[in-house]
């Protein structure tokens, strides 16, 4: 009894002074050490996967470096088809704006393969590398002329360009016909106006002339070796009139005087369904 009372008294005094029993402390330390997380380490499988990935990247890079520019260009054009489903999910006009912006920033493939010589032709004293062109309506405000020509078109036509900026028809105004693989365009001559277009074309004009001079000084054999088109491409400008204009002739005269210095040809196509105007063509 005396021994049991002595043990209780000793335990009471230890707890009162904030001192724990060495046996209890040792037991707690042992338990903590047993449950401590093990240090992470890389598995053999993970190291093998990382090594294989690095090897594939190096091998792929070495192979691509040996591929000629024309073949690589073909791969890029094929790869762009992967984004088509993404564009199909967007509103048609939003998708169109993204495409124009990408071409304006050079985020589209550039055709490096030369056109066959039998596709070349001369019209109005201008040499076309091929007869396939991009009609007016895609790049209405001359934002992406260089990028679009680089896609391989024989010519690109910008516009229609009106003297004064105008909004066009209310949105939505572009509609997809999935079953026909087509689009209905009811934009109604939306344009940023002659001043904005002339500023962009003026900035591009000097570079285009420099490219023409540079290419004309090189031989056709040299062009064939390096690939690419036989020239910077043909630029057309489509002129339009403002919806509220009272003098259509003055609108077209202003367009000719302002933009003819930058274009290889001018087109003036007026649709009967727009503002009750007749059809005419100005070359």
The pLDDT tens digits for 142-186 are: 999 999 998 889 999 998 999 999 998 999 999 999 889 888 989
DSSP summary character for residue 191: B
* % of the chain beyond a pLDDT of 90: 36
So where are the chain's domains?
66-267
What are the residues facing 157 on neighbouring strands? Answer: 236
CATH, domain range 66-267: 3.20.20.70
Q: Please state which of the ranges 77-81, 117-121, 157-161, 267-271 shows the lowest mean pLDDT.
A: 267-271
Q: Give pLDDT tens digits for 14-64.
A: 455 554 544 444 444 444 445 555 545 557 666 767 766 776 666 555 555
Locate tokens 């790049």: which residue? 139
Q: Is there a contact between 113 and 154 (Cβ–Cβ < 8 Å)?
A: no
Tell me: the pLDDT tens digits for 127-141?
A: 899 999 999 999 999
**What pLDDT sits at residue 29?**
47
E strand or H helix at 183: strand 182-185
pLDDT computed for residue 204 by the predictor: 83
Question: What is the C-alpha separation between 81 and 13, in angstroms, rounded?
Answer: 83
Predicted local distance difference test score (pLDDT) of residue 35: 53
Residue 191 has pLDDT above 90, yes or no: yes
List beta partners, residue 235.
156
Q: How much is the pLDDT for 170?
A: 92
Q: Given this model, what pLDDT does residue 33 score?
A: 47
Residue 272: the pLDDT is: 44
Rounded to the nearest 10 degrees, the angle between the axes of helix 194-216 and helix 248-259 is 40
Whose structure tokens read 């047993």? 34
């Amino acid at each position: 009894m005396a021994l049991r009372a002595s043990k209780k008294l000793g335990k009471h005094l230890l707890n009162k002074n904030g001192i724990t029993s060495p046996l209890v402390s040792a037991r707690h330390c042992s338990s903590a050490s047993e449950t401590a997380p093990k240090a992470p380490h890389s598995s053999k499988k993970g190291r093998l996967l990382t090594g294989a990935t690095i090897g594939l990247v190096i091998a792929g890079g070495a192979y691509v470096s040996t591929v000629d520019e024309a073949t690589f260009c073909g791969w890029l054009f094929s790869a762009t088809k992967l984004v088509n489903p993404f564009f199909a999910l967007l509103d048609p006009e939003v998708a169109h704006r993204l495409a124009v912006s990408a071409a304006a920033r050079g985020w589209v493939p550039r055709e490096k393969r030369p056109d066959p010589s039998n596709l070349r032709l001369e019209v109005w004293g201008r040499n076309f590398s091929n007869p396939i062109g991009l009609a007016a309506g895609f790049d209405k405000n001359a934002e992406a002329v260089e990028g679009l020509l680089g896609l391989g078109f024989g010519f690109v036509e910008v516009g229609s360009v009106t003297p004064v900026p105008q909004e066009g028809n209310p949105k939505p105004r572009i509609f997809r016909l999935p079953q026909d693989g087509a689009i209905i365009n009811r934009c109604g001559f939306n344009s940023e106006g002659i001043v904005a277009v002339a500023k962009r074309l003026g900035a591009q004009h000097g570079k285009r002339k420099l490219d023409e001079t540079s290419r004309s000084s090189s031989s056709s054999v040299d062009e064939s070796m390096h690939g690419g088109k036989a020239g910077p491409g043909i630029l057309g400008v489509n002129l339009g009139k403002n919806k509220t204009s009272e003098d259509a002739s003055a609108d077209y005269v202003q367009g000719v005087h302002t933009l003819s210095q930058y274009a290889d040809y001018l087109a003036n196509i007026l649709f009967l369904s727009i503002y009750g105007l007749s059809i005419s063509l100005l070359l």
